[in-house]
C-alpha cells in the first residue's frame, strides 16, 4: 500500500487531519489501534473554541453542532461560594465558546469519514515507524494476525500521549517539559438539568469544583480529589454533598441530584515535547503535549496543530515548497505554550495544593478578588479562555 500521509491515531487530531487532507485532495490513511466504539466512547471535555467551531464549519460538519451545541458568551468563577461572571463576549469584542461534547465531535467526524473517502483502518496492532529520517518512510502494523506495510512521504503522529510516534524521535533530540499536579479530577455525568446556564469554576477551601454540561438535560460535574482516591469510595450521595458544599449556597440551591451514569478519576498533567517534527515525522495533539483540563484546551490545541499541519502539507504536496513543513514545529509550539501557560495558571488559581501553605492560599484569594474587580484581568482571562488566534 502507498499513500502520501500516514496518520497514526484516529482521535480528534488524526481524524480532523484526515478530513482536512481529503478536502485538499491529498491522499492519507489513518491507522487506529482500537475500534470506533472505543474511540468515540471516551468521555472528554466539551468546550470548543472558535478555531474548532470554524474548522467544523469549513469541513461542512457543523450542522448538528449549531443545532444541538450551546453557545456560551460568559463563564463564572466562584470563590468560597461567591459567584462572579466573566462576560467573555463583552471583554473580547464578541467571542464565545460552543459547548458540544468531544464524543459528539468524534461521532460527526466518523459518520462523515467513509462517505467522503477518509480512509481509517481500525484494530491496527503494533504500529511501528521506519526510516523517518529518509525521504521514503514507511509504517508497519498487524491486522487480524497479518503483517501490513504502508509506504508514504510523511507520517503524522496523532496517537495521543501514550502512543508510539513521539518515542520514535531519538532521546537526544526530543526535549520534554513536564509538571505533574498532586491531585486529580473526579468527573460525573448525570441526566439532570445543569445548575446554571453557563459553567462555574469554583475555588473552595476543600478543593476545586466545576459545574459543566453537555446539554440542557445532561450535567457534567467535577471535583478535585486525591490521586489515591478510589471511585468505589465516591457514592453518588457523597459526590452531590461535596459538590454542593464547594459550589456554595447560591449555585448549590440550583443543583438537581440524580443517578450518575459515568464516574471516573483522571490525573492532571502539563507536558510538552519539542520539537514537534523529526525528519518526515510530524507530531500533533496529545502526542506532543498535554494540558490539565482546567480551561478545556486539550482538543482545541489538537485542532490548531492539525490546521497548521494541513496548511504545511498542502504547501508541500500542492506547491512543492518545504517552507511550511520547516516552520511547523515552531509555529505550533508558540500557540501550544501559551495554552500551556493558561491551563497551568487557571489550575493554580482554582485548586487547593496540599503542599502549599497559608501564604499561598491568601495570594490565591487576593488574585481571585483582583480578577473580580479588574477589567484588565478579566480581559486576559477571557481572551485566553475563548482561544488565542491562529497566527
Ligand atoms: N497505534 C495506533 N493508534 C494509536 C496508538 C498506536 N500505537 N496509540 C494510541 N493510538 C490511538 C488511540 O487509540 C486514540 O484513538 O490514537 C488516538 C489518540 O487520540 P487522543 O488521545 O484523543 O489524542 P488527540 O487526537 O491528540 O486528541 C487530543 O482530545 O482525547 C482528547 O484528551 C485529549 O483533549 C485531548 C485531545
Ligand atoms: C467538561 O465539560 O467536561 C469540561 C468543561 C470545561 C473544562 C473542563 C471540562 O474546563
Ligand 1 center from residue 376 Cα (angstroms): 37
Ligand 1 contacts CB of residue 299 (under 6 A): yes
Residues 6 or more apart whose Cβ sits within 8 Å of residue 57:
none
- The ligand that comes nearest to the alpha carbon of residue 296 is 2
Ligand 2 center from residue 102 Cα (angstroms): 10
Ligand 2 contacts CB of residue 343 (under 6 A): no
3-state helix, strand, coil in the chain (%, to 5): 40, 30, 30
Cα first-last separation, the chain: 36
Annotated catalytic residue 201 = yes
For residue 208, report the phi and psi dihedrals to the nearest 5 degrees.
-70, 150
Residues 6 or more apart whose Cβ sits within 8 Å of residue 94:
none
Ligand 1 contacts CB of residue 13 (under 6 A): yes
* Average pLDDT of span 118-134: 98
Ligand 1 contacts CB of residue 124 (under 6 A): yes
- The ligand that comes nearest to the alpha carbon of residue 299 is 1
Cell 509555529 belongs to which residue?
331
Degrees, nearest 5: CA angle 52-54-59: 95
Annotated catalytic residue 221 = no
- The ligand that comes nearest to the alpha carbon of residue 291 is 1
Residue 304 to residue 258: CA distance in whole angstroms: 37
Residues 6 or more apart whose Cβ sits within 8 Å of residue 45:
102, 293, 296, 298, 299
Annotated catalytic residue 72 = yes
Ligand 1 contacts CB of residue 34 (under 6 A): yes
Q: What's the pLDDT score for residue 81?
A: 83
Q: What share of the chain in percent tops pLDDT 90?
A: 98
Ligand 2 center from residue 253 Cα (angstroms): 21
Instruction: Report pTM.
Output: 0.98
Which residue puts its alpha carbon closest to atom 3 of ligand 2? 45
- The ligand that comes nearest to the alpha carbon of residue 13 is 1
Degrees, nearest 5: CA angle 222-227-231: 60
Ligand 2 center from residue 166 Cα (angstroms): 26
Asked whether 234 and 263 are in contact (CB, 8 A), the reply is: yes
Ligand 1 contacts CB of residue 302 (under 6 A): yes
- Per-residue pLDDT for 236 more than 90? yes
Q: What share of the chain in percent tops pLDDT 70?
A: 100
Ligand 2 center from residue 46 Cα (angstroms): 6
Q: Which of 9, 31, 43 to mutate to test the pocket of ligand 1 (most atoms within 8 A of CB)?
A: 9
* pLDDT tens profile 244-286: 999 999 999 999 999 999 999 999 999 999 999 999 999 999 9
Which residue puts its alpha carbon closest to atom 15 of ligand 1? 11
* Average pLDDT of span 102-117: 97
Cell 453557545 belongs to which residue?
71
Q: Which of 344, 385, 373 is nearest to 50 (CA)?
A: 385
- Mean of pLDDT over the chain: 97
* pLDDT tens profile 56-101: 999 999 999 999 999 999 999 999 889 999 999 999 999 999 999 9
| Dihedral sign computed on CA atoms, order 88, 45, 291, 187 | positive
Query: Can you read off the three cell numbers belonging to residue 98?
Result: 460552543
* Average pLDDT of span 298-313: 98
Amino acid at each position: 500500500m502507498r499513500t502520501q500521509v500516514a496518520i497514526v491515531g484516529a482521535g480528534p487530531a488524526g481524524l480532523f487531519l484526515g478530513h482536512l487532507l481529503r478536502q485538499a485532495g491529498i491522499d492519507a490513511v489513518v491507522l487506529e489501534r482500537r475500534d470506533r466504539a472505543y474511540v468515540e466512547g471516551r468521555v472528554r471535555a466539551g468546550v470548543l473554541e472558535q478555531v474548532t467551531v470554524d474548522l467544523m464549519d469549513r469541513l461542512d460538519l457543523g450542522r448538528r453542532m449549531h443545532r444541538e451545541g450551546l453557545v456560551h458568551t460568559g463563564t463564572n468563577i466562584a470563590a468560597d461560594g461567591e459567584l462572579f461572571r466573566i462576560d467573555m463576549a463583552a471583554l473580547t469584542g464578541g467571542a464565545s465558546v460552543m459547548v458540544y461534547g468531544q464524543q459528539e465531535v468524534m461521532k460527526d467526524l466518523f459518520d462523515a469519514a467513509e462517505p467522503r473517502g477518509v480512509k481509517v483502518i481500525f484494530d491496527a496492532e503494533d504500529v511501528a515507524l521506519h526510516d523517518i529520517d529518509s525521504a521514503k518512510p514507511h509504517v508497519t502494523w498487524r491486522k487480524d494476525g497479518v503483517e501490513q506495510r504502508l509506504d508514504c512521504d510523511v507520517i503524522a503522529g496523532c496517537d495521543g500521549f501514550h502512543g508510539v510516534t513521539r518515542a520514535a524521535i531519538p532521546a537526544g533530540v526530543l526535549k520534554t517539559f513536564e509538571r505533574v499536579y498532586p491531585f486529580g479530577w473526579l468527573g460525573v455525568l448525570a441526566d439532570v438539568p445543569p445548575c446554571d446556564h453557563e459553567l462555574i469554576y469554583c475555588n473552595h477551601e476543600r478543593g476545586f469544583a466545576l459545574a459543566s454540561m453537555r446539554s440542557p438535560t445532561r450535567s457534567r460535574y467535577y471535583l478535585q480529589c486525591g490521586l489515591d482516591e478510589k471511585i468505589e469510595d465516591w457514592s453518588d450521595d457523597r459526590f452531590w454533598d461535596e459538590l454542593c458544599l464547594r459550589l456554595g449556597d447560591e449555585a448549590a440551591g440550583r443543583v438537581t441530584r440524580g443517578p450518575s451514569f459515568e464516574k471516573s478519576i483522571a490525573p492532571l498533567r502539563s507536558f510538552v515535547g519539542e520539537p514537534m517534527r523529526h525528519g518526515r515525522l510530524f507530531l500533533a495533539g496529545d502526542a506532543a503535549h498535554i494540558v490539565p483540563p482546567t480551561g478545556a484546551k486539550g482538543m482545541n490545541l489538537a485542532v490548531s496543530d492539525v490546521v497548521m499541519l494541513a496548511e504545511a502539507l498542502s504547501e508541500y504536496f500542492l506547491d512543492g515548497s518545504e517552507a511550511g513543513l520547516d516552520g511547523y514545529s515552531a509555529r505550533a509550539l508558540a500557540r501550544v505554550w501559551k495554552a500551556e501557560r493558561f491551563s497551568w495558571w487557571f489550575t493554580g488559581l482554582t485548586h487547593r495544593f496540599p503542599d502549599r501553605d497559608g501564604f499561598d492560599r491568601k495570594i490565591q484569594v487576593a488574585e481571585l478578588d483582583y480578577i473580580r474587580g479588574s477589567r484588565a484581568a478579566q480581559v486576559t482571562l477571557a481572551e485566553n479562555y475563548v482561544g488565542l488566534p491562529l497566527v
